[in-house]
Structure 1
Amino acid sequence: MQAVVLSAGQGTRIRPLSASLPKPMLPVADRPLSAHAADAAVEAGADELILVVGYEAEEVRDYFGDEYAGVPVTYAVQQEQAGTADAVRSASEYLDGPFAVLNGDNLYEPEAIAELFEEGPAVGAVRVEDPTNYGVLSTEDDTVTDIVEKPDDPPTNLANAGAYAFPAEARDWLDVPESERGEHEITDVVAEVIAEYDVGVAVMDRWLDVGRPWELLAANEWKLGELDREIRGEVHDDAELRGDVVVESGAEIDAGVVVEGPALIRSGASVGPNAYIRGATLVGEDAHVGHSVEIKNSVLGRGSHVAHLSYVGDSVLGRDVNFGAGTNVANLRHDGEPVRLTVKGDRVSTGRRKFGVVVGDEAKTGINASLNAGVKLSEGATTKPGEVVTRDR
């Protein structure tokens, strides 16, 4: 089975994190986001990966190479962002039999993808409480009869999980008309398959669409929670590591540090002295957590520094961010309502009672800065010493 992994999205909803780092390469535990979809495909039995890439082609190629996890990798470049069917069509010259399509910004369980392969032709689905915000599968006798986009009256509670197993003939059905959104949709290809085949349903117990910053945090919570304790770096005798903590080779944990897992301290990172890390926290490669800093349930990108006497909770920091000494992040509203974040110009609920800030690459705060819950700092943004930041910048 060939597996096409769609990795060409520009990630506009997850900005500023994707301003200079392609969305498929954003960190989720010890690897990029799209690598988790690739892993699921390989573990499910894919014998070739076809990665559809866009502007981020070079960085994706550098990571995956010509072979990934023992499976050959082919690259197809999508020239324009013209929809999912267009993305798959860019890979059509490499398809020579039944094939699967996975969204590279979704997390899947390998067992569910294996079932998808076995059931094919099939569509992956997940049961949701409110299907009205999804493409919803209409079914009859355990076969898919239609996919209805964001229906007011959903036919089922099965949301489309962005995973498909197609027969070889579907390669010739990729040239579908534009939808009302002006895109060529993969669901229209599914409709062509439904007209010719019985299309099964592969129901997934766990799935996550990583489109917005708090979903990247959720992705790390999932994947960090799967890690087993492993200590390969340098840990001071007076440090305390509790639970499933991974310290990679080349990382340093200083005296007085307490780390409560699940947590991953990547190669080249340094922590402490007297720092406290808890919750599902990723400290990226070459990042630095200073003296008496507390990091809770957060992602620190590669090369980021959080200076002494600072607090970062439920937040996502990009690469090479520098938090000046005494920077404090608020992660809770006084009224107890879910924290809201601006996504493409609209204030949107994160659904999280606790959520801090989202910080783009190379942003910097002055000493004793205070950042309000739900604030975004764009790539390269700065704050003044002692400033209270209540609005995005």
Structure 2
Amino acid sequence: MKAIIPVAGAGTKLRPLTYTQPKALIPIAGKTILSVIVDQLLESGVNEFVFVIGYLGEKIQDYVASNYPNLKCSFVTQNDRKGIGHAIGLTRANIDMDEPVIIVLGDTICDYDLKKVLTSDVSLIGVQKVDDPRNFGVAELGPEDRVTRVVEKPLIPKSNMAMVGIYFIRETRIMFEALETVFSRPVAKSGEFPLTDALEEMIAHYKVRFDAFRINTWFDCGKKETLLSTNATLLKYAAQQRAEEQSDVVIIPPVSIAKGCKIRNSIIGPNVTIGEATKIEFSIIKNSIIGSYAELEDVLLHGSIIGNDAFVRGSSQSLNIGDNTEIDLR
């Protein structure tokens, strides 16, 4: 079975980190967002992947080649940011029209029974109840969780069941036909073609049956605060990674410290992810994500995200720093 993973978004809510690094490659609980998704799919029997890339797409390609050298995959480039529906439409030549496909958005980390989803007799949409559904695609449900209608970011929602970004499609050919119908219409004010519109076309015009399946947990990777919260939650369940013992270091679990790190005279944790080959001295770090090849000296960091190759020296702050940055807080 094939999976389509759109990772072409610019990740504007996580800037400046995403100026130089795709959101899908931000480290989280010892992995990246993308590797969490790919590993979950591989473990459940998905054997081929189609990645829709765009902004900084070459970094996605390099990452996949380096970390999944035997992965059967292809890459499709979305040059224009015209939404998820447009991204999926670009994959038509890479997908077998007579086989089901699973679509997982590249920033969607969820806890759910994936094997059960992949063996479903009908198409499925992943949902979770939210307090304010106006910023989501929303699924309206009938008896036995049958999806009766889907709407993209409704002003007056008739349901609080948000679509989380996981779709199992059995009627693959019909999905692409529905996408072509959507593309023939005037583009929305947002300038994008939502996948939601094609799903609604499948339900209303083609009478395709969609059932909703409920997500156990939906990890939000869209903003700094929620990304840090997700990192803390996933660290509780991840296998703990530790750098080799350093001098005068106190580790407060859970933490994930990648290989090649040099840490001394510091306190690390709880809820800290540190990328590889990072150097930390005379510092206290908690509830933070630190990229690879960074250098931190004489700092007290909390609730912070530090990019790759960043240099920070100095005071106590809450920071959101992109790659290749030098900060001196003294």
Common fold, TM-score beyond 0.5?
Answer: yes
Higher helix share: 2
Structure with bigger RCO (C-alpha 8 Å, 6+ apart): 2
Distance, in Å, in 1 between the alignment partners of 2:49 and 2:32 is 16
Q: How does 1:89-104 map to 2 (within 5 A)?
A: 89-96=89-96, 97-104=99-106
Q: How does 1:312-323 map to 2 (within 5 A)?
A: 312-323=301-312
Superposition RMSD in Å? 2.0
Quote the offset at 1:227 in angstroms: 2.0
Match of 2:159 among 143, 156, 160: 156
Deviations 1:235-287 (A, max 9, x none): xxxxxxxxxxx21xxx44322211011101111111112x1111110121111
**Which deviates more from structure 2 when the two are superposed, residues 168-177 or residues 297-306?**
168-177
Quote the offset at 1:189 in angstroms: 1.1
Distance, in Å, in 1 between the alignment partners of 2:278 and 2:67 is 29
Change beyond 3 A, Cα 1:18–1:66 = closer
Distance, in Å, in 2 between the alignment partners of 1:151 and 1:8 is 24
Distance, in Å, in 2 between the alignment partners of 1:98 and 1:46 is 11
1:134–1:150 contact (8 Å) kept in structure 2: yes
Asked if 1:83 corresponds to 2:94, the answer is: no
**Which deviates more from structure 2 when the two are superposed, residues 258-267 or residues 167-176?**
167-176
Change beyond 3 A, Cα 1:173–1:153 = closer
2:137–2:196 contact (8 Å) kept in structure 1: no
Q: How does 1:1-393 map to 2 (within 5 A)?
A: 1-65=1-65, 68=68, 71-96=71-96, 97-109=99-111, 111-119=112-120, 120-141=122-143, 142-166=145-169, 167-169=171-173, 170-175=175-180, 176=182, 177=185, 178-195=187-204, 196-229=207-240, 246-247=241-242, 251-273=243-265, 275-291=266-282, 293-308=283-298, 310-324=299-313, 326-329=314-317, 356-366=318-328, 369=329, 385=330
Unaligned runs of 5+ in 1: 230-245, 330-355, 370-384, 386-393
Change beyond 3 A, Cα 1:152–1:112 = farther
2:278–2:294 contact (8 Å) kept in structure 1: yes
Q: What is the count of residue pairs matched by the alignment?
A: 318
1:76–1:90 contact (8 Å) kept in structure 2: yes
Distance, in Å, in 1 between the alignment partners of 2:68 and 2:176 is 24
Unaligned runs of 5+ in 2: none
Distance, in Å, in 2 between the alignment partners of 1:9 and 1:47 is 24
Quote the offset at 1:71 in angstroms: 4.7
SS across alignment from 2:200: helix
SS across alignment from 1:65: helix
Identity %: 27
1:377 alignment partner in structure 2: none
Distance, in Å, in 1 between the alignment partners of 2:239 and 2:79 is 41
Deviations 1:333-363 (A, max 9, x none): xxxxxxxxxxxxxxxxxxxxxxx22112222
2:138–2:153 contact (8 Å) kept in structure 1: yes
What amino acid maps onto 2:316 in structure 1?
A: N
Quote the offset at 1:35 in angstroms: 1.9
What amino acid maps onto 2:81 in structure 1?
A: Q
Quote the offset at 1:66 in angstroms: 9.4
What amino acid maps onto 1:101 in structure 2?
A: I
Distance, in Å, in 1 between the alignment partners of 2:289 and 2:105 is 22
TM-score by length of 1: 0.76
1:333 alignment partner in structure 2: none
1:15–1:213 contact (8 Å) kept in structure 2: no
What amino acid maps onto 2:326 in structure 1?
A: K
Distance, in Å, in 1 between the alignment partners of 2:152 and 2:31 is 32
TM-score by length of 2: 0.90
Distance, in Å, in 2 between the alignment partners of 1:78 and 1:211 is 20
Quote the offset at 1:155 in angstroms: 2.5
Quote the offset at 1:93 in angstroms: 0.4
Deviations 1:202-253 (A, max 9, x none): 1101012322222321232232222234xxxxxxxxxxxxxxxx21xxx443
Distance, in Å, in 2 between the alignment partners of 1:361 and 1:21 is 8
Deviations 1:282-318 (A, max 9, x none): 1211111102x1101111111111113x200111111
**Which deviates more from structure 2 when the two are superposed, residues 198-207 or residues 154-163?**
154-163
Distance, in Å, in 2 between the alignment partners of 1:360 and 1:70 is 31
What amino acid maps onto 1:143 in structure 2?
A: R
Change beyond 3 A, Cα 1:316–1:87 = same
